[in-house]
Amino acid sequence: MTKFWIVLWHTYKKHLTSKAFIISTIITMLLIFVMTNVGTFFSKSEQEKNKEIGIVTQSSKIEDYVKTEVKEEKKKIHITTYSTEKEAKKQIQKGKIQAYIVLNQDNQAFLTGVYKANDMSEQSLLFELERVFQNVKQKEAIHQLHVDPKTFDQINKPFVLKKETLVKTSHSDKQIKQSLVVVMGTLFLIYATVVFYGNMIATEVASEKSSRVMEVLVSSVPATQQMFGKIFGLALLGITQYAFFFLSGSYSAFAHLDALKEVPASTFVYGVIFFTLGYFLYATILAMFGSLVSRIEDVYQIISPINIVLIIGFALSIAAFVDPTSKAIAVLSYVPFFAPMLMFLRVSLVTIPFWQIALCIGILIASIGVFAYLGAKVYRGGVLIYGKASFANIAKAIKLLKKDAK
């Protein structure tokens, strides 16, 4: 067992101190930090200055409506009124205002306007102004038609569709909405981790073969301990890297923590369980495949079937978002390769009996066991085979270890 720890620590340290790892981690951290805080940065810089907008109207009543609306809705807009368009144009040339709106009162539409500016690119400003003038128009209409504002409010109230689930343990609508975010995030994390770290395991094994240190290693450490030392070592590396990623995103994450408070704790627990099982399932298979090649260039060729299976699993889980209760998805969620993604999705979004979850976890653990056994066997023989990469090597590797091949 001590050798397992030596291999684990060696694998972990070797990658942790590698330039590629440090650089990619730092770049990703920066990226995460910028991405998660990009909204905050922009809104902060926008806070500093109000937009200078002019309106051209002769009506002091309309002017009043506009200014009240802007004030009440706390828009970052400053309104200046001009009586003629000529005057407003002059202000634009001077740079005092960035745009102006010529307002016209008309009997049919109550109030119309023309937005004039040198630059039409500021979509968010246009959107804000449209909302302001929508309300101003309503006020004007209420005034002209002599409608009681209270009556108008009642008419204007949106239709409320309340949702109640009949099953007691079922997820509420709000829960599902918030869970979706967590589920999507976790599924993506499973996918990305297997692609990145799984391939790293295969490459790690193949590189030890291609640098010819493998035979010395297998003569001192049992193949199983070596294989799992690597798998756990890289898992530890992944945890370290994700911890750094989380750290860089935490500033923003804690600010939005309440957005996830409706997500049941079980979703997170299952997330961890299926993530872990998924990693170990794929890692074991990829380590086995990595042991079959003797050159790093051949790694991608031999593990591509596994990557395709993984992509299919990911595609299925995206399809499952549309209808998580589908029978086909339910059946597929017991297939070991898809189970980590599909079963986790079902657990989080659909109410399913506990035995189904337990069965699925059981299947996963059993298949990890099978692949670990098979993997260790192939690994032990595979590392002694040099030459062309091929799946026939699986049979060759097992044959190599058989006491009596006849």
Choose which of 221, 319, 350, 352 interacts with other proteins (CB under 8 A). 221
Does 216 engage in binding with other proteins (CB under 8 A)?
A: yes
Q: Which tokens sit at 52?
A: 């200078």
Applying CB under 8 A, the site for other proteins has a residue count of: 29
Using CA atoms, how far residue 338 sits from 141, 153, 360, in Å, is: 59, 52, 11
Write down the H helix ranges in 194-222: 199-210, 214-220
Task: Compute the distance between CA of residue 215 and CA of residue 162 in angstroms, rounded to an integer.
Answer: 67
Neighbours of 3 (CB within 10 A): 14
Q: Compute the least distance from the CB of residue 274 to other proteins, in Å.
A: 34
Q: Is 219 in the site for other proteins (CB under 8 A)?
A: yes
Say whether residue 3 binds other proteins (CB under 8 A): yes
Q: Which stretch binds other proteins (CB under 8 A): 213-221, 239-247, 283-291, 359-367?
A: 213-221
User: Least CB distance from residue 383 to other proteins, whole Å?
Assistant: 9
Nearer Cβ to other proteins (287/364): 287
- For position 406 contacting other proteins by CB under 8 A, the verdict is yes
* Helix ranges restricted to H, 115-260: 123-145, 149-156, 173-193, 199-210, 214-220, 223-255
Residue with smaller CB distance to other proteins, 47 or 211: 211
When asked if residue 296 is in the footprint of other proteins (CB under 8 A), the reply is: no
The two tokens of residue 379 are 């690994």
β-pair type (110-117, 99-106): antiparallel
CB 401 within 8 A of CB 381: yes
Position 212 contacts other proteins (CB under 8 A): yes
In single-letter form, the type of residue at position 111 comes to: L
Nearest CB to other proteins, comparing residues 90 and 212: 212
Looking only at residues 344 through 403 of this chain, which bind other proteins when binding is defined by CB under 8 A?
Answer: 380, 384, 386, 399-401, 403
Q: What is the DSSP string of 69-90?
A: HHHHTT-SEEEEEESSHHHHHH
Judged by CB under 8 A, the residue of 22, 27, 31, 213 near other proteins is 213
Q: Which residues are at the interface with other proteins (CB under 8 A)? A: 3, 6-7, 10, 14, 18, 208, 211-222, 380, 384, 386, 399-401, 403-406
